[in-house]
Amino acid sequence: MRLVFVALLLTALPAFAQQPPADDPAAPGRRNQRIEKLVHEDAGSRIEEIRYGGQMQSITVQPKAPVPSYEIAPSTPSRDRVTDERRGATGTGGGERYWNVLNF
């Protein structure tokens, strides 16, 4: 009986001698998951882009003329609608424009 216990103990020793695996500092898909705010300005307008992880989330355009600003929702596979020729959508990949009519 004692011999069986010693044999089992000796076979289990290599499992305890292993080093734990090294922790990855960041998973490959999570390295660039940061929020970026890019501002482009010229004589005619000011454009603010918000990106999360390199993917465009929203675009806000503020014209220099005395007209209201508008937002462009970039097209993504989750936001894309079925192409409808009656609405003028031709599937070019552009985003939809939204005007803020009432601001509180």
pLDDT of residue 47: 92
Q: Can you tell me the mean pLDDT for 4-16?
A: 79
Contact 83, 91 (CB under 8 A): yes
pLDDT tens per residue across span 34-87: 889 999 999 999 999 998 887 888 888 999 998 888 888 877 666 555 555 555
Which tops the pLDDT comparison, 2 or 100?
Answer: 2
Report helix, strand or coil for 58: strand
Give me the count of residues in the chain: 104
pLDDT of residue 2 exceeding 70, the answer is: yes
Distance CA 97, CA 83 (A): 16
Buried b (16+ CB within 10 A) or exposed e, 23-52: eeeeeeeeeeeeeeeeeeeeeeeeebbebe
pLDDT band, residue 90 (cuts 50/70/90): low
pLDDT of residue 96: 72
Distance CA 66, CA 72 (A): 19
